[in-house]
Amino acid sequence: MPTQSMIDAYLRALLQHVKIEPLDEGGYQATVPEAFGVVASGDDPRECANDLRRRLERWIRTRMARGVPLPVVDGIDPNGEFERLVADYHDAAFVNGDHGEVFLSDADFRAALARWAKGG
């Protein structure tokens, strides 16, 4: 299976686990339990789903670029050496640009929230 197809299949597998819920203040929020820290939102379910797909793609690429293992989802393991080497097709702007943070644990996420609250 070509790597791009594997990444697409992995993304589709993640999307099968989406949890979407309406927000009290309006709009929708979506998460995928296997994609810790990824939260998407939108005014309607379609906008929320599009935001989630973009965020998941960024999450996958960021973790792969940093060498951080991805969870196996529905039997799809994107952590093999071949997959990581070929998936390194990203451009330097993505790796060195502003692409957000990836959190490996709840503690890392909470530390970032505290840092952001202090303006850091």
Task: Give the torsion sign (CA, 86, 72, 1, 51).
Answer: negative
11/57 Cα distance (integer angstroms): 7
- State the average pLDDT for the chain: 80
The confidence score (pLDDT) of residue 55 equals 95
Query: How does pLDDT run across 56-83, given as a tens digit for each residue?
Result: 999 998 888 888 899 999 998 888 766 5
pTM of structure: 0.68
The confidence score (pLDDT) of residue 117 equals 74
Decide if pLDDT at 12 tops 80. Answer: yes
Contact predicate 35/14, CB 8 Å = yes
Provide the pLDDT confidence category of residue 120 given band limits of 50, 70 and 90: low
Please give the domain boundaries of the chain with CATH numbers for all domains: 3-117 (3.30.160.250)
Decide if pLDDT at 99 tops 50. Answer: no
Query: How does pLDDT run across 38-58, given as a tens digit for each residue?
Result: 999 999 999 999 999 999 999
